[in-house]
């Protein structure tokens, strides 16, 4: 039997970490079943895939400008596929706007890639499709770090967010499948895992085989038992569901990285209500304070949306107040972007003028820079433990501390994959410099 000829895949990924993992699954499936290998050169590719994001308008515009370019420069015979969240929400409209697209494959339908890749004109965007128990081919790309999905979809109804409409209802991946996947990656050399879901704290509420419920805390405990796994991260938890049992696990489990994402979105209780986030300004502050008190070295990161419809100056000042009180270690800032299929569209008449949104965004960014510098400089003179993971062209080696600060030292590849004590000698706003302690 002649083996199918080797073909080249060029894949571009927009959006979040879950989309990155989906792209790894696509690569692994096409490698195992269709004999594709990846290339960074789009012009030599036989298949071009763009794995899209819909969360704001910008990445959707990017999709159409990019595929237009791909179509001009690609080999004549090359196919173009559009996958991910924008594929889910626009479906066959993508082909109407860009008739040269060969197939459209929505998020949570990714396991169908090997069947759809050769079907010209196919559109698979079933929002109820359940691939939570599909065994994806092994990607084998993980070196020291790996990412594993723990659920698909999202059951929350944050009024600004398109994700529930693109990824459908939440279904947890069976616990033993997750543990098995992490153990496999650890056997291949990974020492760190990031567990991924749109709302990790709701893990275990619904499985497709109707089995008994479990919890995210239980999953953390089971994953921690894997020998050789040294560090566990996860994204994203939801501030509303970070209950005492979960916080206790954060505090006492030494394998859990002490860098926690707490997406605030807004500091105003009235805006949080309109966003349907389920917590108040005070509730958020109380939880953040509790975590900082119990874990002094913790770093807290967040997401903030400014200029949500109806956001007054007073509401915005509440956001500034929370930023000043929590002093987040990292803020991902966004200006509100109206999205199809979201409840916030009903608040259209309360939309905030773009120049006000931009000014608020700038204010958040500038304030945050001050806090970042303050946090980073407080590390000078301290000794930290770093997992080294990449060699830089200038002879430096970079890695991350347990609370996820990037550290650079002079050194060689001997450091890679090891946890090593480093004395911090300098700080920039986003990283540290240090010397290995021998």
Residues that bind ligand SAH (CB under 6 A): 55-56, 160-161, 163, 198-199, 236, 263, 265, 303, 305, 334, 336-337, 339
3-class secondary-structure state, position 122: strand
Which of ligand F3S, ligand SF4, ligand SAH, none is residue 164 near (CB under 5 to 8 Å by kind)?
Answer: ligand SF4
Taking each helix axis from N to C end, the angle separating 313-326 and 281-294, rounded to the nearest 10 degrees, works out to 10
Among 18, 27, 95, 161, the residue binding ligand SF4 under the rule CB under 6 A is 161
Find the shortest distance in angstroms from Cβ 161 to ligand F3S.
Answer: 8
The residue (of 155 and 230) whose beta carbon lies closer to ligand F3S is 155
Would you count residue 16 as binding ligand F3S (CB under 6 A)?
Answer: yes
Q: Are 292 and 285 in contact (CB under 8 A)?
A: no
The residue (of 49 and 162) whose beta carbon lies closer to ligand F3S is 162
List beta partners, residue 234: 195
The alpha-carbon radius of gyration of the chain (Å, integer) is: 22
Secondary element (H or E) of residue 146: strand 145-149
Q: What backbone phi and psi angles, to 5 degrees, belong to 389?
A: -140, -15
The residue (of 92 and 303) whose beta carbon lies closer to ligand SF4 is 303
Q: Which stretch binds ligand F3S (CB under 6 A): 13-21, 185-193, 272-280, 392-400?
A: 13-21
115, two tokens: 């069947």
The residue (of 150 and 305) whose beta carbon lies closer to ligand SAH is 305
Q: Which stretch binds ligand SF4 (CB under 6 A): 35-43, 152-160, 184-192, 350-358?
A: 152-160
Q: Which stretch binds ligand F3S (CB under 6 A): 160-168, 174-182, 280-288, 402-410?
A: 160-168
Would you count residue 54 as binding ligand F3S (CB under 6 A)?
Answer: yes
Compute the distance between CA of residue 377 and CA of residue 429 in angstroms, rounded to an integer.
8
Q: Which stretch binds ligand F3S (CB under 6 A): 73-81, 162-170, 199-207, 423-431?
A: 162-170
Which of ligand F3S, ligand SF4, ligand SAH, none is residue 53 near (CB under 5 to 8 Å by kind)?
Answer: ligand F3S
Q: Are 189 and 143 in contact (CB under 8 A)?
A: yes
Query: Considering only CA atoms, which of 134, 81, 147 is closest in space to residue 108?
Result: 134
Q: Are 436 and 422 in contact (CB under 8 A)?
A: yes
Would you count residue 55 as binding ligand F3S (CB under 6 A)?
Answer: yes
**Mask of contacts with ligand F3S, 95-114, x by CB under 6 A?**
------------x-------
Q: What backbone phi and psi angles, to 5 degrees, belong to 346?
A: -65, -15
Residue 247 CB: number of other CB atoms within 10 A? 17
Query: Considering only CA atoms, which of 313, 323, 244 is closest in space to residue 281?
Result: 323
Compute the distance between CA of residue 262 and CA of residue 300 in angstroms, rounded to an integer.
7
Residue 210 class from Cβ within 10 Å (0-12 exposed, 13-18 middle, 19+ buried)?
exposed
Compute the distance between CA of residue 414 and CA of residue 192 in angstroms, rounded to an integer.
18
List beta partners, residue 301: 261, 330
Would you count residue 199 as binding ligand SF4 (CB under 6 A)?
Answer: yes
Secondary element (H or E) of residue 34: helix 17-34
Which of ligand SAH, ligand SF4, ligand F3S, none is residue 357 near (CB under 5 to 8 Å by kind)?
Answer: none
The residue (of 8 and 167) whose beta carbon lies closer to ligand F3S is 167
Find the shortest distance in angstroms from Cβ 265 to ligand SF4.
Answer: 8
Which of ligand F3S, ligand SF4, ligand SAH, none is residue 85 near (CB under 5 to 8 Å by kind)?
Answer: ligand F3S
Q: Are 193 and 224 in contact (CB under 8 A)?
A: no
Q: Which stretch binds ligand F3S (CB under 6 A): 161-169, 205-213, 265-273, 305-313?
A: 161-169
Side-chain-side CA neighbours of 90 within 13 Å: the count stands at 24
Would you count residue 158 as binding ligand SF4 (CB under 6 A)?
Answer: yes
Which of ligand SF4, ligand F3S, ligand SAH, none is residue 166 near (CB under 5 to 8 Å by kind)?
Answer: ligand F3S
Which of ligand F3S, ligand SAH, ligand SF4, none is residue 337 near (CB under 5 to 8 Å by kind)?
Answer: ligand SAH
Summarize as ranges the residues that interact with ligand F3S (CB under 6 A): 15-16, 18-19, 53-55, 84-85, 107, 162-163, 166-167
Summarize as ranges the residues that interact with ligand SF4 (CB under 6 A): 154, 156, 158, 161, 163-164, 198-199, 238
């Amino acid at each position: 039997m002649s083996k199918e000829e080797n073909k080249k895949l060029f894949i571009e990924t927009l959006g979040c970490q879950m989309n990155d993992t989906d792209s790894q699954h696509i690569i692994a499936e096409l490698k195992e079943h269709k004999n594709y290998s990846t290339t960074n050169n789009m012009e030599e590719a036989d298949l071009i895939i763009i794995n899209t994001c819909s969360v704001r308008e910008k990445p959707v515009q990017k999709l159409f400008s990019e595929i237009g370019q791909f179509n001009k420069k690609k080999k004549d015979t090359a196919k173009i596929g559009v996958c991910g969240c924008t594929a889910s929400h626009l479906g066959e409209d993508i082909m109407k706007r860009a008739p040269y697209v060969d197939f459209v494959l929505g998020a949570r339908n990714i396991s169908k890639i090997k069947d759809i890749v050769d079907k010209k004109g196919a559109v698979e965007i079933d929002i109820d499709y359940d691939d939570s128990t599909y065994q994806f081919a092994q990607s084998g790309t993980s070196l020291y770090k790996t990412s594993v999905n723990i659920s698909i979809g999202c059951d929350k109804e944050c009024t600004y967010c398109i994700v529930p409409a693109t990824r459908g209802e939440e279904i947890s991946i069976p616990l033993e499948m997750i543990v098995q996947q992490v153990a496999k990656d650890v056997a291949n050399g990974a020492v760190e895992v990031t567990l991924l879901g749109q709302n990790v704290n709701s893990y275990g509420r619904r499985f497709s085989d109707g089995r008994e419920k479990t919890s995210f805390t239980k999953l953390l405990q089971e994953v921690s038992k894997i020998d050789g796994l040294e560090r566990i991260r996860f994204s994203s938890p939801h501030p509303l569901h970070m209950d005492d049992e979960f916080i206790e696990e954060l505090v006492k489990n030494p394998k859990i990285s002490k860098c926690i994402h707490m997406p605030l979105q807004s500091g105003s209780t009235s805006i949080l209500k309109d966003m349907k986030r389920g917590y108040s300004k005070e509730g958020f502050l109380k939880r953040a304070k509790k975590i900082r008190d119990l874990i002094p070295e913790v770093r807290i990161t967040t997401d903030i949306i400014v200029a949500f419809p109806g956001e007054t100056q007073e509401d915005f000042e509440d956001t500034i107040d929370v930023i000043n009180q929590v002093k987040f270690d990292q803020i991902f800032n966004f200006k509100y972007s109206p999205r199809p299929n979201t409840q916030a569209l009903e608040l259209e008449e309360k939309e905030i003028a773009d120049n006000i949104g931009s000014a608020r965004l700038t204010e958040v960014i500038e304030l945050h820079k001050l806090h970042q510098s303050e946090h980073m400089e407080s590390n000078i003179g301290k000794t930290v433990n770093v997992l080294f993971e990449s060699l830089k062209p200038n002879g430096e080696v970079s890695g991350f501390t347990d609370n996820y600060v990037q550290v650079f030292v002079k050194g060689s590849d001997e450091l890679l994959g090891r946890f090593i004590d480093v004395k911090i000698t300098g700080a920039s706003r986003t990283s540290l410099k240090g010397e290995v302690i021998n």
